[in-house]
Amino acid sequence: MTTETSTDAMQEANVFFKDENGFRWHFKLQAPNQMALQAAHRRACDFLLTSGYTPDAGPSRGPSEAHESAPAAQPQAVLCGFCGGATWDNRTNKRNPKGPDYTCKDKETCGGRAWLKADGSVGEWKTPAL
């Protein structure tokens, strides 16, 4: 989970994750503007997810929330339909609703991109026009 605040000088985001032992971690990100904050947020989340951390809802809200709660489900990774490599999940942060939901991380040699179908499955993969 992420919460964002802003001050006159800096933009802030709080990111909450759990490690494989169930311990909660709070990461505070700061950047001079919203665009830089989004880039820092993306890099931090990519690193944490590939390091075995899972997203967390944030600080406990009371005694009803036990430490032994069920672990969060790992989101299933979508692989590129052309090269089989890793992809960027753009669903939560795309600026244009017509933009692709998934793009290949290998922009130089592949550049694959895909949009979700109405039923939520990944549609046909396309390459940029050359």
Can you tell me the distance from the alpha carbon of 109 to that of 128, in angstroms, rounded to the nearest whole number? Answer: 11
Q: How far apart are CA 86 and CA 103, in angstroms?
A: 9
User: What is the per-residue pLDDT for 59?
Assistant: 61
Compute the distance between CA of residue 102 and CA of residue 116 in angstroms, rounded to an integer. 8
Mean pLDDT over 88-97 rounds to: 87
- Asked if 102 and 122 count as a contact pair (C-beta separation under 8 A), the reply is yes
Between 103 and 47, residue with greater pLDDT:
103
How many angstroms separate the CA atoms of 108 and 106, rounded? 6
| Torsion angle of the four alpha carbons 77, 79, 88, 114, in this order, in degrees rounded to the nearest 10 | -120
Residue 94 lies in a domain: yes
Q: At 41, phi and psi to the nearest 5? A: -65, -45
Is 30 within the bounds of a domain? yes
| 64 part of a folded domain | no
Domain identity same for 43 and 79: no
Question: Could you tell me if residue 70 is inside a domain?
Answer: no
- Position 64 scores a pLDDT of 43
Question: Do 44 and 84 lie in a common domain?
Answer: no
Residue 102 within a domain: yes
Q: Is residue 95 located within the same domain as residue 48? A: no
Domain membership flag for residue 61: no
| Number of domains composing the chain | 2
Checking if the pLDDT of 74 tops 80, the result is no
Q: For residue 105, is it within any domain?
A: yes
Considering only residues 40 and 99, tell me which one the structure prediction assigns the higher pLDDT.
99
In a domain, 91, yes or no: yes
Domain that holds residue 19: 2-55
Query: ∠84-91-8 over CA atoms, to 5°?
Result: 125
